[in-house]
Structure 1
């Protein structure tokens, strides 16, 4: 019985991690990031805590087998994000990645 409980606990513990890697590709609502910026602020690369490469890697995990076509550091809903444009199978995707943590905040088909 002890093994059964441990296996169930392990399955429960792994479930959120697996679902965190699948990002819905729908309309994105207001974003919540970690680095606040005001609309109109001059965006500088040194404001980000993660590199464009880290943001690109995160976006590619959200849209596997895609190709990055553009990455831009910008303000979105008052937060600093990387907007990563991707192309896969004739479809363009836009992924918003938190510039402070490299967490995917939003992924949608363009």
Structure 2
């Protein structure tokens, strides 16, 4: 008989991926990997287009989106300075696995 653990799912159950947000080319969005945390809402990003950019996490997302090294994120490069970008989305582990299976990550 399965033990009731207060309504929480068991640790072995992987969350199902229902929808995954993909980068929108018309909005100039790019996938990137966080390579270093710089502090003060700033990170170093290795982008899929081969450019290393400094990313900024907006204040509206700072508390909700805890970013660590190695995370896959969606960024939008600044129009006036291509070496900097805004971090707009962070993927969870199941979403990253889905992106790898579908060929978005190389």
TM range (shorter): under 0.3
TM-score, length of structure 2 as denominator length: 0.25
Q: Which has the higher contact order (CA 8 A, sep 6+)?
A: 1
TM-score, length of structure 1 as denominator length: 0.24
